[in-house]
Amino acid sequence: MRIGRLALFTLFALACAHQPPAPREQTLRYTVLMSTNTAGTQLVTTRGDEITVDYEYNDRGRGPKTHSVIRLDDRGLPVSMTIAGNDYFKQDIEERFSFEKGKASWKNTAENGEAVSQGYYASMYGPPEELAVLARALLRNGGRMALLPGGEASIRKVGEASVRGTHVTAYEISGLGFTPFEVWLDDDRHLFGFVSAWQSTIREGFEAYAKQLIEAQDARATTRIAELTRKLTKRPTMGRLTVMNARIFDPRSGTLSAPTSIHVEGNRIAKIGGEQERNAADIMDAAGKVVLPGLWDMHTHLGDMDGLLNIAAGITSVRDLGNDSDTIVAFRRNVDEGRWVGPRISLAGLVDGPGPFKGPTNILAGNEEEARKAVDFFAGRGYEGLKIYSSIKPELVPVLTRYAHERGLRVSGHIPAGMRATEAVDAGYDEIQHANMLFLNFMPDVTDTRTPARFTEVGKRAADLDLQSEEVRAFIAKLRDRKIVVDPTVAIFENMFTARAGTMAEGYAMVADRFPPQVRRQYLSGGLPVPEGMDEKYRASFRRMLDLVAELHRGGVTIVAGTDALPGFSLHRELELYAQAGIPNADVLRIATLTAAQVLKRDGDLGTIEPGKLADFIIVDGDPTQNMSDIRRIVTVVKDGLVFDPNALYGEVGVRP
């Protein structure tokens, strides 16, 4: 019996010796940060050629939660991929990709396609880990490959760092957006971090070092944008420019002039009309085209290449309403000192209360002392405004507004949970952001507006609000009499309420074909999840939102045009929507130029084209006083006396003319 057992064991051992080893399993954990606040996790488990990823984060009650399974071939390319869970707006999603017998096929909630190609399929809903998968595939396959459903990706090494003894390498991946993405890999080419001042995913235990990586990226961005600025900026010879045959729009009267000339010396307008200056070095013939003052976007959150997108769209001034302070102050300094192409920037600092729905800021106020410190922080860094967010305690609002006004700051914001818009006005607000906050004034039962209810309840119920009711008319009169400014940002609500998965979002339909392929498809993913049977209700609620904006304008309430969305293109859509609402085109153009300058007390230098003012103006090949969509047809931008070609700017980020 003993011999038999030994023989059996020997046979078993010999058999095992010929079997491949079991796939090695490795698990890596990551933390998702919003600003510097922990917001979620990514768990990556690798077993041989299979990668499983569980990813989620919470962004003020929004955020994805997905389970992904990716199987790779011997070249590191996905041959199958499944993603299930919910998207950023909590809508159920499912995505599948496979490559079999030389044919790729994919399907998700927005797309369905096939290709006889084994390009790299870039998922619609994938986790940050997918950037590392793509980076490894590019590095193993010559550094460049076709993307599915379209486009091409490339990679290059751009930097290295040592993070608490761990060596990491930064790679720049192009082809996924308007600009390259940087991804940090360790020496085994596993994801170490994908970071930015707004949101980061970084290896667990290294959260405190995200800032080190962000600073390294920012330094490279500074150099890259400075090089583009030198390439794309035309400086008039001797600082003198004459624009001939210009039909100048006057925001005060809403009229166009007869063809005339604009004479610029340095960064200011020297005179309008008169003979051509003999020693004017640069002459530009507008050929009867319409010339407008530079546009304003009054609701931005700038990223590094957003300056270029804004200038290309004719936006020469913006207000940033919440950003990492170090990042945005450096951004403004680079623009002001001429190193970066970008608009003039007015800063408003974002303050929120602590808690599970706090916004993407590290400036939090839970008591009066912290509220004062927040105001002092922004006032001390040259900010002009304070933006109050949704988790601030209502009892702190008067403290913040009063002290901000003492420090010379305007106050705007969301309406904090537990308050109504009329109460925020009483507490000292100067301005209200987002049209949904006005509708919520008439939905007192929606008390926790920190959550996505501030969108979904408006989608379900705004259509039923009687804008001619006594309550609404009294509220509009109160906004007018208190000189409260409203920043409606209706373009983002158009996308939320009317966009449906698989159909190009209406707000981008006119321009999406100009975008890089991987950017274009983002606008097929739809908006808010719409409850069954409420499709038309959501659409009607958006139409009622436009009706309210028109009523505000007719009622004498000051409106400013802001976007809180894709730079440049979204402002054009915002203005189109105001015109669709029934606001006369000339008034819409006034809102986007002189009114914004007046609200921020910059009308001594900006907002009109007049002698002595700064030389910020745009030349439009069309007449937006008659057709608002002509605002998209900008052929020349002059900002601070410098000349820019929008097509050249767009070309640098992959946007076709």
| Residue 162 buriedness (CB in 10 A; 0-12 / 13-18 / 19+) | exposed
When pLDDT is averaged across residues 602-630 and rounded to a whole number, the result is 98
For residue 20, pLDDT over 90 is answered with no
**Residue 534 confidence (pLDDT) above 60:** yes
Query: Please, what is the end-to-end C-alpha distance for the chain in angstroms?
Result: 86
CB crowding 313-350: b at 16 or more within 10 Å, else e: bbbbbbbbbbbbbebbbbbbebbeeeebbbbbbbbbbb
Per-residue pLDDT band for 23 (boundaries 50, 70, 90) equals low
Give CA separation, 334 vs 39, 126, 181, 182, in Å: 31, 34, 21, 21
CB 652 within 8 A of CB 228: yes
Backbone angles phi, psi at 442, to 5 degrees: -105, 15
What's the whole-number mean pLDDT along residues 164-170?
Answer: 97
Contact 262, 272 (CB under 8 A): yes
Q: What is the pLDDT of residue 3?
A: 36
Residue 657 contacts residue 647 (beta carbons within 8 Å): yes
Task: Quote helix, strand, coil % in the chain, to nearest 5.
Answer: 35, 30, 35
**Burial class of residue 1 in the structure, from the number of CB atoms within 10 Å of its CB (0-12 exposed, 13-18 middle, 19+ buried):** exposed
How much is the average pLDDT of 554-559? 98
Residue 398 · residue 372 · CB < 8 Å:
no
Q: What are phi and psi for residue 310, nearest 5 degrees?
A: -65, -50
H helix intervals, 236-366 = 306-312, 325-336
Tell me the three-class secondary structure of 421-457, residue by residue.
HHHHHHCCCCEEECHHHHHHHHCCCCCCCCCCHHHHH
Average pLDDT, the chain: 94
Which helix (H) or strand (E) covers residue 518, if one does?
helix 517-520
Kindly list the domain boundaries of the chain, sorted by start residue. 25-231
Question: Which burial class, exposed, middle or buried, applies to 82 when counting CB atoms under 10 A from its CB (0-12, 13-18, 19+)?
Answer: middle
Please report, as a single letter, which amino acid is at residue 356: P
- Does pLDDT of 576 surpass 60? yes
> Which of 352-361, 533-542, 609-618 is predicted least confidently?
352-361
Residue 221: which of 386, 362, 118, 340 has the closest Cα? 340
Please write the tens of the pLDDT for every residue from 120-138: 999 999 999 999 999 999 9
Banded pLDDT at 22 (limits 50, 70, 90)? low
Question: Prior bond to 149 cis, omega within 30?
Answer: yes
On the question of pLDDT at 496 being above 90, the answer is yes
Q: Each residue of 513-528: pLDDT tens digit?
A: 999 999 999 999 999 9
- pLDDT over 90, % of the chain: 92
Q: Residues in the chain, how many? A: 657
Residue found under tokens 């020297």: 270
Whether 468 shows a pLDDT value over 80: the answer reads yes
Phi, then psi, of 25 in degrees rounded to 5: -105, 135
Q: What is the pLDDT of residues 335-360, one digit of tens each?
A: 999 999 999 999 999 999 999 999 88
Q: Given the DSSP bridges, would you call strands 181-186 and 268-272 parallel, antiparallel or unpaired?
A: unpaired
Residue 412 confidence (pLDDT): 98
**pLDDT of 6 higher than 60:** no
Q: How confident is the model at residue 15 (pLDDT cuts 50, 70, 90)?
A: very low
Confidence of residue 117 (pLDDT cuts 50, 70, 90): confident
pLDDT tens-digit series, residues 39-64: 999 999 999 999 999 999 999 999 99
Reported as a single tens digit per residue, the pLDDT across 369-424 is: 999 999 999 999 999 999 999 999 999 999 999 999 999 999 999 999 999 999 99
* pLDDT per residue as tens digits for the range 243-259: 999 999 999 999 999 99
Residue 308 CA to residue 320 CA, distance in Å, equals 15
Domain 25-231 top-level CATH class: mainly beta
**pLDDT computed for residue 277 by the predictor:** 59
304 band by pLDDT with thresholds 50, 70 and 90: confident
**Nearest to 396, CA basis, from 422, 381, 374:** 374
Residue 161 pLDDT more than 70?
Answer: yes
Say yes or no to pLDDT of 570 above 70. yes
Three-state SS across 68-129? Answer: EEEEECCCCCEEEEEEEEECCCCCEEEEEEEEECCEEEEECCCCEEEECCCCEECCCCCCCH
Give the bridge partners for 43, in sequence order.
29, 54
Question: What are the residues facing 617 on neighbouring strands?
Answer: 293, 638
In this structure, are residues 618 and 636 in contact, taking their beta carbons and an 8 Å threshold? yes
**Residue 7's pLDDT is what?**
39
